[in-house]
Structure 1
């Protein structure tokens, strides 16, 4: 029996929901269809967002011989069979090859079609949920345009659920009514995956139709029972991993404790404890830094506690560290100072270390006429002398941040260094 998700799969571009950035009047896909020339393409993005559906629509309008492979099952012989069709009567207009989950093909398998993509015998459309920069052979990638598919919104999914309900009502001749909040719930827990939402709807209809073949009412109780639990879209090796960690850090840097806690909750749900701990330690020095120097000490204690506790208890010290960092004053002066110093090392002739600052046992220091002045022998443990190499003697890397702690230190040294 054909799944509901396949039954309502759109055959026209106008019926495809979401992806407004590539579909619509004067958008890329519409222009491609109007040109009647299908380029090699790689579709990437979350599951259930329309990648396969769009490939089918493009194939239908290409007038080429259409072949479809799934990277999880395809082997080299499958690819050779398609290559053998080149130039046959059925393939006079060329071949359009769609490979779903293309990242599962190994390098050799991807290379086997490279020559035929390049000479135009095969037009390739590949789809993947992975980071294309790591999962697709670079030679393939360079010959394709890459198109990102974005997660569907709740409204997009509700629209498709309503369409599916209309189709089932007509097909099974049963009355289906629903509470819109139930459809919204199914859409929300599907995490942007239309296929999953449709599977949930189909489960509700099929299981409750057994008890009442004439009428079904989809309410919250049925929606929750058949949805079970929300699946978090998170891939530790994909773009989602880096996007979420970036969101986490930027929310803390932006001093928003609510967004920071929300980002942490997503990371906690993913179970990626090490990534959370590493990022918190970085933030403590990169974004809070000298505005509150004790932050790194507190965060290290929270991180150690989290690693010792493990989930689920680890969420508590992690939350403490996250909220603390988000509400503390911010300073990136140490971060910018070290970056500037490293940049100069790579760009400039920085010169040698001042001789009087070299190891006292080194010949260069023994024979140096400039004597090292020991700061602790002087008032306030300070004496003026040159510390920077001659080539950088006028260079400034560290600028005091405009926060209470750094300004107090600035005032301290200003008084000392201006004394005669």
Structure 2
């Protein structure tokens, strides 16, 4: 009987056994050709858990037949790195697979990096975090390849599951199992592209199934029961969490209700209500803005209610807020106007505040020439309120315009008023 988990036993022995990731290691890729010809470059493997980073590293080592050492940066120390260096001196060249490479400390780097640079150690680093954010530049610069792995497609997972069921040496091939194609597909579709979960689930299903006359029969209800909740959920402090927040905002901005609700559901499963509520509130003013000014207060009320309620009830006001934002008229004109003003200031487009706008609440203001401000409320203009034609910007930039209205929703009215006031300034 095997002691190791099925997912461990079924790791590919060479790159031809890799399931999926054909954009990285397919037979028509440069990496495949390099490895089959005996050249293994240092590289970083980036992607979510369970999609094959470790398997790819082991497969590369199996194909190249080079000495292979695996370490985890969270538990390895300087002594472990020194042992790798010593092995490289003996063998001439060694592949070091370093999982969680973003946790590599400076002392370990100082010991290892010179040997990576001269080529005696081939470094294959794996990380679930964005390497451009979380991996030390010293390591990145020595890794010629930064490869982003993808979730496996259903057909790739079906191939992997069938291989496990038929492999007599490493898999379940010596066991008589009654299981149909539809059940295998259900497993493949239920793990959201995660190969490790697919094999672990298969092993659990086989273990929990009834055996009669030496044959294990898999039943549909058992698959449904064990699949459980497997989604895009990730670590609320990791890169995937920020990818989900980004996907939520872009879906709302694109008015796709179903996509926005899907990403909201995934975010709520991480339990980080504060981050979700903060992002929704920013979106209400960044993406909805002046076109639907009532949305901001609505979202504020919804997020405050969510934090006060906690999960699972918090999902209710947040769902209302997301759908309202998706279907609301949208404008980003307000914050773009402010950003334009900030750029102008940073570019030196400034000037003195006009004298009539300066503070006059002190003795001697008149002696400095401050004063002459006309109070707009004293001059009503239709139903708009009060307005007078006087200069507010400094002389050097008096004609500059930062605000460009978006003709959407309620902002159409604001845009009309803005244009009329510009005409009044020209005519008076």
TM (normalized to structure 2)?
Answer: 0.89
Q: Which residue of 2 aligns with 1:127?
A: 126
Equivalent residues in 2 for 1:21-420 (5 A)? 21-88=23-90, 91-92=91-92, 94-144=93-143, 145-167=145-167, 173-208=174-209, 211-212=211-212, 214-230=214-230, 232-361=232-361, 366-368=367-369, 371-380=372-381, 381-412=386-417, 414-415=419-420, 418=424
Alpha-carbon separation, structure 1, partners of 2:366 and 2:36 = 77
**CA RMSD across the alignment:** 2.4
> CA deviation digits over 1:140-179, x for unaligned, max 9?
1211131111111222212211111112598654432323
Contact 2:12 2:58 in 1 (8 A): no
Unaligned runs of 5+ in 2: none
Alpha-carbon separation, structure 2, partners of 1:411 and 1:371 = 29
Q: After TM superposition, give the deviation of residue 200 of structure 1 in Å.
A: 1.4
Alpha-carbon separation, structure 2, partners of 1:404 and 1:3 = 58
> CA deviation digits over 1:80-112, x for unaligned, max 9?
122223332xx13x1221122333443322332
Unaligned runs of 5+ in 1: none
Alpha-carbon separation, structure 1, partners of 2:366 and 2:69 = 76
Alpha-carbon separation, structure 2, partners of 1:216 and 1:146 = 44
**Cα distance change on mapping 1:413 and 1:53 into 2, 3 Å:** closer
Alpha-carbon separation, structure 1, partners of 2:152 and 2:405 = 46
SS in structure 2 at match of 1:373: coil
**Cα distance change on mapping 1:365 and 1:112 into 2, 3 Å:** farther
Alpha-carbon separation, structure 2, partners of 1:12 and 1:413 = 67
Alpha-carbon separation, structure 1, partners of 2:419 and 2:35 = 69
SS in structure 1 at match of 2:167: helix
**Cα distance change on mapping 1:85 and 1:415 into 2, 3 Å:** closer
Alpha-carbon separation, structure 2, partners of 1:232 and 1:296 = 28
Alpha-carbon separation, structure 1, partners of 2:201 and 2:65 = 35
Q: After TM superposition, give the deviation of residue 219 of structure 1 in Å.
A: 3.0
> CA deviation digits over 1:170-198, x for unaligned, max 9?
86544323233432332233232211211
Contact 1:190 1:196 in 2 (8 A): yes
Report the number of matched residues.
416
Deviation beyond 4 Å, 4+ runs, structure 1 = 168-172, 362-366, 413-417
